[in-house]
Amino acid sequence: MSFKMKYEVKADYIAKGKRRPGTFITPKFGVLHDTGNPGSTAKNNRDYFNNTPNDPTSASAHTFIDDKVIIESVPATTGKTERAHHVRYQMPQDNALYGDDSNDIGIGVELCFGGKINFEEAYKRYVWYCAYVSYKFGFSPKKWIGHEKLDPDRKTDPTNALKKYGKTYAGLLADIIKEYEECTKEITSAAPKPKPEDIKEADDMLEKAVVINAFPDFPFAELLASRIKAPIYVRGALPSGKIAKEVFVVGGTKDGLQADSFVMLTGKNRFEVAAAVNAYLNR
């Protein structure tokens, strides 16, 4: 199974420190966040976290997404996956649902919104990226949960951002599942089914074709081909199988050729071949 790569995922990691300890994790689910900071772009957020590596809160997230870019500030899909700190450790819900803390087995994804950010574009990238993360780490696209569900007393993201644009938390979860299905389906069934016109064309065997023995025969063959409106094939570069219903052999024999009927325009040498073609055209 492959995944349709609609967008580029950019690696722009923050400096190591309290926010990015550099320890590796194996992701089993994802946490949906919004930045809670209207108008700040993915790059703004990445830079802020980069410039304050030892902030006492040690807060971070893997990925920031706006209407233009998807930036991984802590390696998730673009490098060996590291821990980010995006949900408080003492919260019980992640352990109850997924068996461990969000920071230790979860990918934290932040939606940027507000200000000059085109919400529809940012939302599309956010939904696509969450679906892609599920694919990348082999967990169900149903395994995404909002920060608001894990830390309900303090957090309202991502509903906080969604509700400003007429979106809902339930709708977001459904959109991620739908995107996952679309991005995995299109490629696994990529082999195009023949259209009715193609089938008709395949049955429409070429009426006539000219086969020449060698290039010196080409000038006579060309006269013939233009008269009967047929393509010219050079022996040795023939398509396999039957090439036409009626084959005009200009020089050489019909050995190895497949057709319903043959018109033999041959001779012992090039001049006899030319004469045979000429006789046919003037008949």
Which stretches of the chain bind Zn ion, using CB under 5 A? Answer: 33, 147, 157
Task: Give, to the nearest 10 degrees, the angle between helix 119-137 and helix 169-188.
Answer: 60
How far apart (Å, rounded) are the C-alpha atoms in residues 31 and 145? 5
Q: How far is the CB of 108 from Zn ion (least distance, A)?
A: 7
Nearest CB to Zn ion, comparing residues 145 and 259: 145
Q: How far is the CB of 38 from Zn ion (least distance, A)?
A: 15
CB 120 within 8 A of CB 43: no
Nearest CB to Zn ion, comparing residues 33 and 208: 33
Go through 249-275 and write b for each residue having 16 or more CB atoms within 10 A of its CB, e for each that does not. Answer: bbbbeeeebebeeebebbeeeeeebbe
Q: How far is the CB of 1 from Zn ion (least distance, A)?
A: 30
CB 98 within 8 A of CB 106: yes
Nearest CB to Zn ion, comparing residues 152 and 219: 152
CB 67 within 8 A of CB 118: yes
Q: How far is the CB of 164 from Zn ion (least distance, A)?
A: 16
How far apart (Å, rounded) are the C-alpha atoms in residues 33 and 41? 14
Q: How far is the CB of 162 from Zn ion (least distance, A)?
A: 13
Nearest CB to Zn ion, comparing residues 33 and 46: 33
Which one-letter amino acid corresponds to residue 83?
R
The four Cα atoms 53, 42, 140, 3 give a dihedral, to 10 degrees, of: -120
Q: How far is the CB of 115 from Zn ion (least distance, A)?
A: 19
3-state secondary structure of 34: strand
Nearest CB to Zn ion, comparing residues 86 and 125: 86
Nearest CB to Zn ion, comparing residues 20 and 208: 20
